[in-house]
Structure 1
Amino acid sequence: MPGFPPPNRHTGPESDSGGVRPLSTQWLSDERIAEARRVWSKAYGRVISQDEAVEILMSVRRLAEVFLSAEEEP
Structure 2
Amino acid sequence: MKLIRWTYAGRGRIRAYFDLFPASTVVLSKIRTFYFVRQVQWNERDPVVAKKHLQEMEYLINEELDTIEAYKKRRSST
TM-score range, shorter chain: 0.3 to 0.5
Which structure has greater helix proportion? Answer: 1
